[in-house]
Amino acid sequence: MCGIIGIVLSSSKALSKNLGRVIRECLKNLEYRGYDSVGFAIVSSEGLIIRKSKGKIDEVVSKLSFDEFDGIYGVGHTRWATHGRPSDVNAHPQTDCSGKVAVVHNGIIENYMELRDALISRGHEFRSETDTEVIAHLIEEYKRLGMSSYDAFKKAVTHLRGSYAVAVIDVDDPGKIFFARNTSPLVIGISREAKFLSSDIPAFLDYSRDVIVLNDDELGYISKDAIVIEKLVDKDLRLEFDRVPPKTEFIDYRLRVRHIDWTPEMAKKGGYPHFMLKEIHEQPRAVADTLISISKELDNIVKLLSKADRVLLIGSGTSYHAALVGSLLLNELAYVKSHALISSEVRWFINSIDDDDVVIAISQSGETIDTLLAVRDVRGKGALTIALTNVIDSTLARESHLSIYTRAGPEIGVAATKTYVAQVATLSYLAISLGGYMGTLDSNKASELKSELSLIPEVMSTTISTCEPRARVISGVIGTKHSMYYLGRGLGLPTSMEGALKLKEIAYIHAEAYPAGESKHGPIALVDEGFPVAFTVLGDEAELIVSNVEEMKARGAWTLAVVPKGFEKSVKLFDYIFELRRISYELAPIVYIIPYQLLAYYTAVTLGYDPDKPRNLAKTVTVV
């Protein structure tokens, strides 16, 4: 999970800035993918310049004077360590023995040990602990055997097993950046002044909105005058070090160029101190745009779901919480047999999956490897797969039979916020439509819920402005605690789970969610004077929760609640409340998560943490 960038300028004056500065800007936009070390390689009139160091981008760029370096083409990298601890030597680019080949890589080369041993026995000297370094030495080895730089690169790629998006400079073939992709995302951006390679589109949105999304097993190069894309026809993992170039098919890139409508502003902070806060405030728009777009797209999917024997919803982290909301709504409104599964656990259910099942795979990024692997598994069993993702043409979208897109815009903060509410709004719309179509939901009720859904963005705006000051105050209390429970029933449970995930993820406070009724079966043992417990009350289930609150209070718990206005017992039961507009229980998860997001955000800030870049996490998790 790293961010890679490659840039070839059309002339030395293009973009009117030093190339080092452009690389720095693009890496900053990719920082959400990893931030333990940073580096670049630029080819200038003086030759190949490489600078890299452990640390976050802002620290490293001034230390290494990124902005001062100029050249015509170069690559950059922001790292999230997998093989080898964060250190200067493990930072990318990684180079060969001659120092002519510089490689930046996102992903994991699974067979790197075997490749490394083979290369060492042929005299190569390794400097880092990374898996990436084998790529540079493999290229060098094939050049030593007499192959051209580009053929040597292609040949090297045929030996790589695992996931990779790589960008490579070889000064022996000037002006080109070679690239290859398998499993890890890689896109090309095109403009009059430059060509870009990147792990994600927001990296170069300031300069280009014409993109080509690369597929698995594609490789090639960009240069001032050319874009070459080839598809590897056979991958030869055997290491025989022969000089036979791999078989490939050429691809006409012009047929693959797509114009995307994201603006650069969408990927910038827009005056907010953090992306996460900006993205919380963007939620009403994210939901509104998503609802407008899906209302035209879902008819066909509703018909398909009506024929399914079972609908499984899968996802990881926050996307799994959206899956839980979706499965509860499908059961309740459309009487469909539906279950939510954590993507990485799908394999344990695989024997019972067949071609009567429909699997909705949820992932904001569309690149989460656990979800991709699960989709491949269930496709293998004949299930129809539908991607629900925020990224057009992401791997998940391309590997699923059908796709539904949320329109949240790029999400940069590592903690998912606006993409979650967009996912939940989509699944709510889907369940209401399916219930209406199947007649399990009275048609008047279905229309009422849909009209109410269209007003939800407005309710969200008010909720954000009323909850924000309160979240600031309560964060002062939560910041003093070490552990916390979030309890809820029905749709209040996934909302609680998502609230707990947000708190632990960015404020580093242990937080667990339980079904409120289950709390007395064990969790209550931890509760003593001042132990914080948050209750999620969405509406209909309020009375059922009262006794659970009393049980906690009797043990001295400090209680907080997210409740609908008019719940009379609130004052007596809770120490602090977020009172929200009462809306239909079925739609409440879209709105009632907001106070928890704000609470987590302000607690993290109060404690001095950066909510956009929580430790040990990356925005897109492309490792199993």
Q: Which residues are catalytic?
A: 2, 619
- Residue 283, interface with ligand M6R (CB under 6 A)? no
Min dist CB 316 to ligand M6R, Å, is: 4
For residue 453, the minimal CB distance to ligand M6R (Å) is 22
319 binds ligand M6R (CB under 6 A): yes
Alpha-carbon distance of 351 to 368, in angstroms, equals 23
Q: How many residues bind ligand M6R (CB under 6 A)?
A: 17
CA 139, CA 147: separation in Å to the nearest integer?
9
Selected from 90, 316, 395, 428, the binder of ligand M6R by CB under 6 A is 316
Smaller CB separation from ligand M6R, 41 or 312: 312
DSSP 342-400: EGGGGGGGGGG--TTEEEEEEESSS--HHHHHHHHHHHHTT-EEEEEESSTT-HHHHHS
In the bound complex, what is the minimum distance in angstroms from residue 319's beta carbon to ligand M6R?
Answer: 4
Q: What residues contact residue 528 under an 8 Å CB cut-off, 6+ apart?
A: 555, 556
**Residue 536 within binding range of ligand M6R, rule CB under 6 A:** no
316, 378, 471 from 31: Cα distances, Å: 21, 33, 27
Considering only 7, 360, 416, 441, the residue that binds ligand M6R (CB under 6 A) is 416
Of 604, 552, 603, 598, nearest to 574 by C-alpha is 552
Best CA proximity match to 284, nearest among 464, 460, 416: 460
Rule CB under 6 A: is residue 414 a binding residue for ligand M6R? yes
Least distance from ligand M6R to the Cβ atom of residue 317, Å:
2
Stretch that binds ligand M6R, among 56-64, 92-100, 124-132, 414-422 (CB under 6 A): 414-422
Please select the residue that binds ligand M6R; options are 198, 290, 327, 364, rule is CB under 6 A.
Answer: 364
In contact, 562 and 534? CB cutoff 8 Å: yes
- CB-facing half-sphere around the CA of 547: CA atoms within 13 A: 4
Supply the Cα-derived Rg of the chain in whole angstroms.
26
By CB under 6 A, the residues from 24 to 83 that bind ligand M6R are none
Q: Residue 278: enclosing H or E segment and its boundaries? A: helix 275-281
- Rounded to 5 degrees, what angle do the CA atoms 167, 106, 67 make? 60
Return the number of the residue (366 or 539) whose C-beta is nearest ligand M6R. 366
Stretch that binds ligand M6R, among 70-78, 328-336, 363-371, 599-607 (CB under 6 A): 363-371
302-310, 352-360, 364-372, 507-515 -> range binding ligand M6R (CB under 6 A): 364-372
Residue from 141, 170, 200, 505 in contact with ligand M6R (CB under 6 A):
505
| 338 lines the binding site for ligand M6R (CB under 6 A) | no
The residue number with the shortest CB distance to ligand M6R is 317
Cα separation, 623 vs 81, whole angstroms: 11
User: Please, what is the Cα angle at 284 between 278 and 285, to 5 degrees?
Assistant: 80
Determine, following the binding rule CB under 6 A, whether residue 621 of this chain makes contact with ligand M6R.
yes
Name the site residues for ligand M6R (rule: CB under 6 A): 316-319, 363-365, 368, 371, 414-416, 501, 505, 617, 620-621
